[in-house]
Amino acid sequence: MAPVVSIQTTLGAYQIGVLISYALLGITTTQAYIYYIRFPDDSFKLKALVAFVYLCEVVHAITLGDTLNVLTISDSASWSERALGPIPKSFPIATFLSGLIGGSVQGFFAYRVYALSKKLVIPMSCWVMCAMRVAMATLISANLLHATVVTFEGRWKWALTTLWAVSTVNDLTVTATLVAILVSQRDNAYKRTAALVDKLIMYTIETGMLTSMSSITALACLISMPANFIWIAIFATNARLISNSLLASLNSRASLRAMEQEVTMPLSFIHSTGTALHSNSAETTPKERQAIDSQRICCHCGQIPSNGV
């Protein structure tokens, strides 16, 4: 038998989540604007990914707001009637979009792993988990169309658990792999380039752990508090955290390139293609120039390519 759901607690958590989500949407909008201003030469595919994710975020925010409006304003039913009544039709759309945003962004980070390592085992595993996330979100969304608040968690808790678990494992896998690659690069770097690699490691951990902790918290709330939907507050913000991690990662290239110019100051400036010019400076040895060049920032991934793989 499904536990009795506290509608008041659920709506309170959902309201807080939607408010935070809207605040984060403002940050997402600013990040997207900065991205298109700073990086007009990025590939069409990367620009299209950012546009797609941002468009999904806007629609996601609209559907979250519509659900909140129906539950708290438009619907004059009592608390018990809300629990037994159908879930607003806009909420399944928000659920599907959340899975689509998460799968798209995690897929990009998995591609980053491939771009740096040139090995397919871990990226393929991550892409499979991305597909599972989208599939679970689609399954949940389809069944939300016909479920009530009371019956939903009892019947589809396993799908929610799978979705959050897959998301957590995917985030941690990508973060750990990227950090491992960067640490191996740092071991071969000179002091001038070590600071740049350290910065990249910090960015990778920050963006990866934020989304991972969000998924872990949602999973813990889902399992430990079956009498309420506290996890729904995290659901409302999770997609926004994911999109902001993508945009923050892309926009951080501006500061990383500034650091790179300081690191390579004894050398000549870099072509727009990322190829270093030969240096006439006696301050930098050929071996050090090779180490610096091996740490060249990847223009499309915002990370350092791996040597010899």
Residue 307 has pLDDT above 50, yes or no: no
| Count, residues in the chain | 309
Q: Which residues contact 273 (CB under 8 A, 6 or more apart)?
A: none
Confidence at residue 210, expressed as pLDDT on a 0 to 100 scale: 84
Average pLDDT rounded to a whole number, residues 185-199: 65
Confidence of residue 180 (pLDDT cuts 50, 70, 90): confident
Work out the number of other CB atoms within 10 angstroms of the CB of residue 66: 17
What is the amino acid identity at position 113?
A: V
Residue 193 has pLDDT above 60, yes or no: yes
pLDDT (tens digit per residue) in 289-298: 434 443 443 4
- Interhelix angle for 149-187 vs 90-117, to 10°? 20
Look at domain 7-269+285-294 and name its CATH class: mainly alpha
Residue 196 has pLDDT above 90, yes or no: no
Query: What pTM was computed for the model?
Result: 0.79
- Interhelix angle for 7-38 vs 44-69, to 10°? 150
pLDDT (tens digit per residue) in 228-256: 778 888 999 999 999 999 998 898 887 76
Please report, for residues 122, 139, 175, 224, the alpha-carbon distance to residue 169 in angstroms, rounded to integers and kept in the order given: 12, 20, 10, 19
Confidence of residue 102 (pLDDT cuts 50, 70, 90): very high
What is the amino acid identity at position 165?
A: A
Confidence at residue 53, expressed as pLDDT on a 0 to 100 scale: 97
Parse the chain into domains and list their residue ranges: 7-269+285-294
Count of alpha carbons within 13 angstroms of residue 16, beta-carbon side: 11
> At 270, is the secondary structure helix, strand, or coil?
strand
Residue 271 has pLDDT above 90, yes or no: no
Please report, for residues 50, 149, 226, 247, 273, the alpha-carbon distance to residue 242 in angstroms, rounded to integers and kept in the order given: 12, 26, 25, 9, 29
pLDDT (tens digit per residue) in 48-91: 999 999 999 999 999 999 998 888 877 655 555 555 567 888 99
Alpha helices in the chain (DSSP H): 7-38, 44-69, 79-84, 90-117, 121-144, 149-187, 191-224, 231-251, 253-263, 286-294
For 114, the token pair is 């491939």
pLDDT (tens digit per residue) in 126-161: 999 999 999 999 999 998 888 776 677 778 888 989
Average pLDDT rounded to a whole number, residues 176-201: 72
Q: Contact at 8 Å (CB) between 174 and 107?
A: no
Confidence at residue 305, expressed as pLDDT on a 0 to 100 scale: 39
pLDDT (tens digit per residue) in 210-230: 888 988 998 898 888 877 778
Q: How far apart are CA 305 and CA 309, in angstroms?
A: 9
Q: Contact at 8 Å (CB) between 149 and 211?
A: no
Q: How far apart are CA 226 and CA 152, in angstroms?
A: 11
Any idea which of 105-119, 120-134, 264-278 has the lowest mean pLDDT?
Answer: 264-278
Q: Contact at 8 Å (CB) between 62 and 89?
A: no
Q: Contact at 8 Å (CB) between 274 and 296?
A: yes
Confidence of residue 303 (pLDDT cuts 50, 70, 90): very low
Please report, for residues 60, 157, 200, 222, 309, the alpha-carbon distance to residue 26 in angstroms, rounded to integers and kept in the order given: 13, 32, 25, 28, 40
Confidence at residue 270, expressed as pLDDT on a 0 to 100 scale: 36
